[in-house]
Structures are given as C-alpha cells and as structure tokens.
Chains A and B, each alone.
Chain A
Amino acid sequence: MTIRTAILRLLPLWAVLSSLMLGMGFVFLAGAPPLQAYEDLLRGALADKFGLATTLVKTTPLLFAGLGVAVALRAGLINIGAEGQIYLGGLAAALVGLYVGPFPQIVHVSLAMLAAFVAGGMWALLPAVLRLRRGVSEVITTLLMNYIGLYVVGVVVSGPLKEPRAPYPFSPPLAPSAFLPTIIPATDAHAGIIIALVLAILVYIFLEHTPAGFQVRMVGANPSAAAYAGVNVGRTVVLAMVVSGGLAGLGGASEVMGLKHRLFDAFSPGYGYDAIVVAFLGAGQPLGVIATAGFFGALRSGANVMQRSQGVPVAVIFAIQGLAVLFLAASLAVRRRMFRWSGRPTPSAEANPS
C-alpha cells in the first residue's frame, strides 16, 4: 500500500473526526462542557455491559440497512428507501411471528426473516421497475415510499393488529418461538447482530467473488460499458435493488423479533436514513459498513447517556452525521481532482457514483 492509497483509505476517518470536532461547537451551544460531554458519550456507549449491549442493539438495524444501501450503491443506485423497507420488513416478520406456527424456534425465526427479506425486497422492486420503465429516479420514489411504509405500519397496528386496550398503537407480542435469542444475559442485546455480521461477510463474498456480484459492480461503475460487455443491466438493477431492500427489511425484522417483540407504530427512529450515511462512509464496502454501523450505533447509544448527564439533545448526532457525510463527499471530490492533476487515471468511481 502506497502512502497515497493509505491517505485515501483514511479519508472517512478524517471526515468523522472533523465532524466530531465541529460537533463540539453544538455541544457548547447546548451549554455543556464539550470534552466532558464526549467522555460521557464514550463511557455510555462502551464502558459497561449495559452500554455495550445498547451499542450492539443500535448497531444491528444500522448494519442490516447499511449493507442494503451499500449493495445498491455498488450498482450505482441510491436507495434512500431503507426506512420504508425497514417498516415493511418489520411488518412481515410480525405477521409471521403472530399468525404462522407454532414451529420450533429455528424454523419460526428463519421463516419470519425470510418474509421480512421478501417484503423489503418487494418494497424496493417498484422503484427499480419505475427507474427502468419510466425513467423516474429511484431517489424520489424510494423517498416517497418511506412515508407510505411508515403509514402502512401505522394503519395496521392501530387497526387489525392492535392489542386490545393498548394505550398506544402496538400489536400483541409475537410467539416466543419467533424471538431472536438474547446474547448478553440481563440486557437487550440479541442475536440480530450475529446474523447481520454473517450477512456482511456473505454480501462481501457476493460482491467480490461471484459473477452476479461482479455484474453489479460493473453496472455501478459504467452501465453502458457493462451493457456492451453483455451484462443484462435491467436485470442487474432489479437484483441489486431487491437485495438492497431485502437487507433493510431484515433490519426491521431484527428490531421486531429481537428487541421489541411486538410491532410498534413508528418503531424506527430514522435507522433507514442513518443507513445511507453508514453505507456512504463505509465506501459501499461490507467490511467498511461494519465499522461505520458500529461507530454510529455507539454514537446513538452514548448520545442517550450524554443527554441524561449533560442535557445535550440527542439530535446533535444528526448534525455530526450530516457534517461527516459532507466532509467525506468533499474530500472524495478533492481526491478525484488530485488524481486528475497528477495525470493518473481516476480511481474507480464506485464509492462515489454520480
């Protein structure tokens, strides 16, 4: 690895650190001592069993959905619809957990996750088809479908699936055989994180070591060249979007089956939007996504502690995430220019499709 490539690999880290530095300004604005607040954040996220468990819980949906967005990104597609796909996946998992069975746990969990993958994938299929058939950008359609997904779950849990006499719209509990088992005793940490990590490795193998994955990357790098080389671009776009939506759907399923054990109205606090940041900062690489999902999971977990101890609103981390994305986008663009000025070929546009 040359010094140049080492510097390039470290750009996301630089972006995150710079945004954390600027984030101190917000913490200060909120009237808290920045260093003390960050220390509380760090301690809250990692210092004890409970903090660590919360970090794992928050990382899980980010990792699933981040992997989903990353697969689309590698195919040159911007899937901003992970939030809606999370909702549909959660709904499908809840339906299987409530009405199908009884089965042994392994069968029930597998069926519920399969249903969630299919539901999320179908939710992403429509934008893929609209892009191919009608020329409508998937950015707009996936955005719109987020709101529809949120309201679909809302309708279902305030009507047909509502627990009788519940004070707030939520479903009855799933059958225990559809629960994801707890992995750290006496905490919320559940097996969803293990499934997500295994999937990250599978997605890596798919993208880097299978013909279909190679086609996805070809279409992402240059669709017309891919078509010229005989790749069925339409089919590849559909495949990438369906896998992308399916992975995000699993994020919803793991929230429902591992954490809440019921389907709640508005159960995702924006994990699908954070997933875009996670995938982008992870450069669309599954292993990078593991790192960024873990980082933002820790940030979300620690931010709650920081809010309690220092009175700094959790929303500070949205501003930090936004800045991190802008910094990385800017530094990637600067890097492209540097390559051009130095007369070298531009590096692959995969992490920054435009």
Chain B
Amino acid sequence: MSHVEGAIVLAYLAASLRMATPIGLAALGGVLSERSGVLNIGLEGMMLTGALAGAMGSYFLGGPWIGTLAALASGMLLGAGLAGLTVTLGTNQIVSGVGINLFALGFTTVVERVVLRPAGIETVPAFARFAAPGLRAVPVVGPLLASLTPLVLVTIAIAPLLAIFLYRTPWGLALRATGEVPRAADTAGINVFFVRYMAVAASGALAGAGGAFLSLGQLNLFSENMTAGRGFIALAAVILGKWDPIGALAAAFLFGAAEALQLFVQSYGFGVPYQIPSMLPYVLALAVLAGFVSRAVPPAAEGIPYQQEER
C-alpha cells in the first residue's frame, strides 16, 4: 500500500469511528433498556436533547466535559420520564417514545430559536482532537488517534464494561431476568420496577451523551434536528447486534462506516447525487434486518408493561 492510499484508509477509518460514536452510544443505551424489557423509541429525542444540553452546557457552564455531563443529565431526565410513563403507568412504549421524540424536536428547536440564535451563539467550545507531542510520529495508531476526540475511545471502552456488567454481575443478571421473565425475577426478590427505571434512565443518559458527541465532537454547534434519525439507526443497531453491547457497537461501526462513505463520496464528488450515499446507512440497516441475520429474537418481555397484581 502506498503512502497516500494508507493515509486515505486511515482517514476513512477515523471518519467511520467518529460517525459510529453517537450511534454506538445510543445503541448501548438501547441494549440496556431493551434488555430490561422496555423498548426505547425515544432514543432519537433523548439524543437531540443531549445535543442541545451539551452545546448549552459547554457554552454557559464551562467546556465540553461539563457540557457532556449536562447532556447525560438531560438524557437521564427524559429516560426517567419515559420510565415513569411506561413502567409505573404501563403506557404503550412505542407511542410514549414517539411522544418524547416529538416533544424533544419541538422543545430543542424553540430553545435554539429563542435562546441560542438571539444571543448570537454560533459555535460552542468543543472537544479537541488528541494532540500529544510526537503523537503523529507513532505509526498507524498515532495519526488515527490524532484525528479522534476522547468520547470515541470512551465509547469503545464502555461496550466491554457493559458486557461484563450484563453477563458477569448480579445486577446484570437481575436486569436480564427482568427483561425475559419479570414475574420470576419478582418472585426471586428483584424489584422489577426499580431495575427498569434504572435501565431506561441509563439508556437516556447514554443517548444524551451520543447527542453531545454530535454537538461537541463532530460539529461545535447545535442545529435544529441535528440527530436526523441517528437514534432510529441505533435501534436497528441494537437488533443487528442481537441485544449484546459488543454486537451493538460493532453494528454501530458498520452504520458509521456507511455514513463516512457518504461523506467521502460527497467530498470527492464522483458526480453522484448526494442522496444516494445518504441513503446508504438506511438501506444497509434494512438489508441487514431483512436477510443477513438469523431471525431476530428480542427479550421475551420487551414491550410488555409489568403488572404486579396480575397473574
């Protein structure tokens, strides 16, 4: 491989990782929530809110890390709200998620128009790329790291931690039991409601962080509806990854690579209308769901509100 080709491959890999990060964070959240038995269609809205909270937190409170914390908190708040509806009241999970998405779209757009725009806030302090002295001199890893921001690595680190949590700790067992056979979990002394609250709130926090990556890691601003369906792609990544953290991250990388390809095709032209590469992640997700995985088997109790007093 020539030097130039190598540089292009590295740049493409880095772009794929950057595109995969927000999808991956939201998908990891989706895994947690769905494994506990709650389908979180609201990931999209939680990401969008996180993107806004991240940008505002970074601008008003002091830097991208604080912004990320604000995004985590805002996502967690929406997650707790969704849990309140779906777990405590037992509302239809899909309809509630759709409601959260609509609300988040309206809310963030209004705030952008009436707070950010009049104040003339166009850019916010964002994450810098890694820049240790001599980093670029390290072969392969050096230039790759130099084009990434910290949240990318954090995301890659979270996936195996979540896998350990899910498969190797009593809490993870409780969460999985709650998503498969809540009645048995209840009988074994697990508080099904508490577990689901925690899982959905955590999924909101992760989706919020994914949104913060968009406004603080990819661009350094918030724009109306900037998630543009990534939360839905994340839901597809959960299925494609078979409800497993590592699998979901791998699926997110696949979608990220498709999105990066779109950017490359767009910037190099090739005379292709931009919509064709833009379609790619969605077509890929659909094709994968349609044919290239074995039949999808979600957690048994997903979508079903748990009611203690029923038999």
What residues make up the interface of A, taking CB atoms closer than 8 Å to B? 26, 29-31, 78, 80, 126, 130, 134-137, 139-141, 143-148, 151-152, 154-155, 158-159, 273, 276-277, 280, 313, 315-326, 329-330, 332-334, 336-337, 340, 352-354
Contacts and interface: CB of A to CB of B under 8 A. Distances in A.
A151 B276 contact: yes
B110 A26 contact: yes
A28 to B, nearest CB: 10
A329 B296 contact: no
A77 to B, nearest CB: 10
A130 B114 contact: no
Question: Which of B110, B111, B236: most chain A CB closer than 10 A?
Answer: B110
Given A30-B114, A329-B85, A148 B91 contact: no
Contacts of B111: 29
Contact of A148 (B102, B279, B309): B279
A325 B275 contact: no
B142 interface: no
Contacts, number: 171
Given A319-B107, A354-B93, A130 B100 contact: no
A153 to B, nearest CB: 9
Chain A facing B: main interface SS:
helix
A31 B114 CA distance: 8
B273 interface: yes
A239 to B, nearest CB: 21
A319 B102 contact: yes
A308 to B, nearest CB: 14
Contact of B110 (A315, A321, A332): A315
B278 to A, nearest CB: 5
A276 B39 CA distance: 17
Contacts of A277: 98-99, 102
A247 B94 CA distance: 22
Given A144-B236, A313-B113, A322 B103 contact: yes
Contact of A313 (B95, B109, B285): B109
A26 B115 CA distance: 12
A154 B224 CA distance: 20
B103 A140 contact: no
Contacts of B41: 139
Contact of B114 (A29, A151, A333): A29
Contacts of A29: 110-111, 114
11 contacts: A26-B106, A29-B111, A137-B239, A141-B286, A151-B278, A315-B224, A318-B109, A322-B101, A329-B92, A334-B89, A354-B305
Contacts of B103: 318-319, 321-323, 326
A145 B282 CA distance: 7
Interface in B54-90: 85, 89-90
A323 B99 contact: yes
Contacts of A30: 110, 113-114
Given A140-B289, A326-B85, A151 B275 contact: yes
A336 B88 CA distance: 13
B46 interface: no
Nearest to B111: A29
A144 B232 contact: yes
B162 interface: no
B273 A158 contact: yes
A275 to B, nearest CB: 11
Given A31-B114, A318-B106, A326-B96, A134 B289 contact: yes
A140 B114 contact: no
Given A80-B98, A313-B114, A353-B92, A136 B289 contact: yes
Contact of B102 (A126, A159, A325): A325
B260 interface: no
Contacts of A329: 85, 89, 91-92, 95-96, 99
Nearest to B44: A143
Contacts of B100: 322, 326
B102 A322 contact: yes
A325 B98 contact: yes
B113 A147 contact: no
A81 to B, nearest CB: 11
A146 B44 CA distance: 15
Nearest to A307: B113
Contact of A318 (B91, B102, B279, B290): B102
B104 A322 contact: yes
Given A137-B298, A144-B233, A337-B90, 6 more contacts: A126-B290, A144-B286, A145-B286, A316-B106, A317-B106, A354-B92
Contacts of B291: 134
A152 B106 contact: no
A293 B188 CA distance: 48
A160 B235 CA distance: 34
A336 B91 CA distance: 10
A321 B102 contact: yes
Contacts of B285: 144
Contacts of B286: 126, 141, 144-145, 148
B297 interface: yes
Given A147-B229, A319-B106, A322-B100, A330 B94 contact: no
